[in-house]
Chain A
Amino acid sequence: GAVVSQHPSWVICKSGTSVKIECRSLDFQATTMFWYRQFPKQSLMLMATSNEGSKATYEQGVEKDKFLINHASLTLSTLTVTSAHPEDSSFYICSAYTQGDRYNEQFFGPGTRLTVL
């Protein structure tokens, strides 16, 4: 149990286009989802925290107009990178969290590698 999927697993796009990444909790309802960005050989940087039905909370330095996050349901959150540029190329990872008897930790998706040409 506690499986989180991401789609797509990798994407290549042209500079200036927008890319949407989906994060789904497959067998549990996630009240909170987190989006991370990972640079090569570096740690994960938290970008934003989203709670179902409310606006995402962005970390300092993260452009909310560039990285649009929607958490429309308890099993789906999306990250849209708008007007992508080569410097947005990175590995994006989501995690899902729900508090309860069975689960009280974050479960991570497999990540999405974005390459902007």
Chain B
Amino acid sequence: GNSVTQMEGPVTLSEEAFLTINCTYTATGYPSLFWYVQYPGEGLQLLLKATKADDKGSNKGFEATYRKETTSFHLEKGSVQVSDSAVYFCALKKSSGDKLTFGTGTRLAVRP
């Protein structure tokens, strides 16, 4: 079946540090890949997505590239801010309307 594996957190960084959160997946075919962010006490928000191999999703300074050869979708940001402190979830979906399969989430804490 489909699965998503994320690096375990928490990840603690100083402001302006470089961020990488690893995500790898297992799925047949060509799933769509997503990163969602959950701020404290809130629901999930879509951060970025990629629907085919070599696509790069980007938003708010975050980027992730769909790597079919390594089945990965690592999240990166060049300079994190305190306001980026949240839980980040990697997810995949096989087709439109299909359910999302989530990773376990990675908590990011950014210190001033």
What sequence of 0s and 1s flags, for each residue 85-111 of chain B, a beta carbon within 8 Å of any chain A beta carbon? Answer: 000010000001101101111010000
Interface size, chain B (Cβ < 8 Å): 18
> Which residue of A46, A97, A108 contacts B43 across the interface (Cβ within 8 Å)?
A108
B69 touches A (CB below 8 Å): no
Q: Are B43 and A109 in contact (CB under 8 A)?
A: yes
Chain A residues, Cβ within 8 Å of B44: 44, 93, 95, 108
Chain A interface helix/strand/loop/mixed: strand
Interface status of B77 (Cβ within 8 A of chain A): no
Of A42, A44, A93, A97, most B-chain CB atoms within 10 Å: A44
How many residues on chain A are close to B (CB under 8 Å)? 23
Known: A42-B105, A43-B102. A105 touches B97 (CB 8 A): no
- Which of B89, B97, B103 is in CB contact (< 8 Å) with A99? B97
When A and B form their complex, which 8 residue pairs have the shortest distance between CB atoms, in order from nearest? A110-B43, A108-B44, A43-B104, A108-B43, A111-B43, A43-B102, A44-B102, A43-B105
- A to B CB contacts below 8 Å, 28 in the list: A4-B43, A6-B43, A31-B97, A32-B97, A34-B99, A34-B100, A42-B104, A42-B105, A43-B89, A43-B105, A44-B44, A44-B89, A44-B102, A46-B99, A46-B100, A49-B99, A95-B100, A97-B97, A99-B96, A99-B97, A105-B34, A105-B49, A106-B100, A107-B46, A108-B36, A108-B44, A109-B43, A111-B43
- List chain B positions with a Cβ less than 8 A from chain A: 34, 36, 42-46, 49, 89, 96-97, 99-100, 102-105, 107
